[in-house]
Amino acid sequence: GLQVAPGSDPHIYLAEEAIGSGHGRQQMAHTLSHELIHAFDQCRAHVRWGNIIHHACSEVRASALSGECDYSEEFNRGYGFSIAAHHQACVRRRAALSVEKN
């Protein structure tokens, strides 16, 4: 994930177990896109990651724009059984999980 220590430059850390253990290129592309969206938000909006509103907003953007909520991805996770509003439900679920973890 995106790491920003006070007084330092932001860094993106990608864990091998998150993207390199049996996951395909698509998963890696979504993960990298997700983290780059956070980096863009940091540069553009000067996100304060300790502020839960800032953090949640960036997670919503990253989940919505990275491709991780594509129907095929959701279907592969076992969530893609409803076409109606699947993207919105996925974005909400994944953003909430990301905020909870941090």
pTM, two decimal places: 0.76
Mean pLDDT over the full length of the chain: 81
The pairs formed by 75-78 with CB atoms below 8 angstroms and a separation of 24 or more are none
In total, the chain counts a number of residues equal to 102
Q: Which residue has the higher pLDDT, 19 or 49?
A: 49
Task: Report the catalytic residues.
Answer: 35
Whether the per-residue pLDDT at 22 is higher than 80: the answer is no
Domain that holds residue 53: 2-101
Q: What is the pLDDT of residue 15?
A: 57
Of the candidates 11, 33, 31, 36, the one whose C-alpha atom is nearest the C-alpha of residue 21 is 31
Q: What is the pLDDT of residue 73?
A: 80
Rounded to an integer, what distance in angstroms lies between the CA atom of residue 24 and that of residue 87?
21
pLDDT band at 23 (very low <50, low <70, confident <90, very high): low
User: Which tens digits make up the pLDDT trace of 39-63?
Assistant: 999 999 989 988 999 999 999 999 9
How far is C-alpha 54 from the chain's CA centre? 14
Tally of structural domains, the chain: 1
